[in-house]
Amino acid sequence: MKGEHKYGNKKGKKQKTTAKLKKELWEIFRHWIYIRDNFTCFTCGKTNLSGVNCQAGHFIKASVCGIELNFHIDNIHTQCSYCNLFLDGNQYIYGIKLGKKIVKELNDIKLATKGKKWSREEYLEKIAYYKELLTQS
């Protein structure tokens, strides 16, 4: 089409890859998680977390959870580095605090969405959504 280039936009700039969009979404999303959780560790209750001591911990680990759970608001909470790293997520306490119903829902989502990938548009939608939430915080 007239005015379009092989890179998908008028200025000829390459579009961000889905890997770069995923990284961008993660940065925005985790900051929203910290604000939602008031910079407080979900598992031990430590407050005023900051820097490397403030982390976004997954109940079902990011390495096995799939894309849906990697950005699911019930699967991710603020954790201190001690709980997230040294206690490997402090899973027992994490599960108790989530409750049986949510733990089951997360496991069901994991099974139902195994192997699912997001499109560029889905990443861009979620980036815009969480950017908007951050501006409202």
At residue 31, the pLDDT reads: 97
What 3-state class would DSSP assign to 9? coil
At residue 137, the pLDDT reads: 75
At residue 3, the pLDDT reads: 44
pLDDT per position as a tens digit, 84-113: 999 999 999 999 999 999 999 999 999 999
pLDDT per position as a tens digit, 27-79: 999 999 999 999 999 999 999 999 999 999 999 999 899 999 999 999 999 99
Contact 94, 57 (CB under 8 A): yes
Report the C-alpha gap between 120 and 99 in whole angstroms. Answer: 33
Please give the single-letter amino acid code of residue 49: L
8: left (phi over 0), alpha (psi -120 to 50) or beta: left
Which residues fall within 8 angstroms of residue 20, CB to CB, at 6 or more apart? none
Task: Provide the whole-model pTM.
Answer: 0.86
User: Where does the chain have alpha helices with state H?
Assistant: 18-36, 62-70, 81, 91-98, 100-112, 120-136
Mean pLDDT for the chain? 92
Say if residue 1 is exposed, middle or buried (CB neighbours under 10 Å; 0-12, 13-18, 19+): exposed
Report the C-alpha gap between 24 and 16 in whole angstroms. Answer: 10
Report the C-alpha gap between 1 and 128 in whole angstroms. Answer: 27
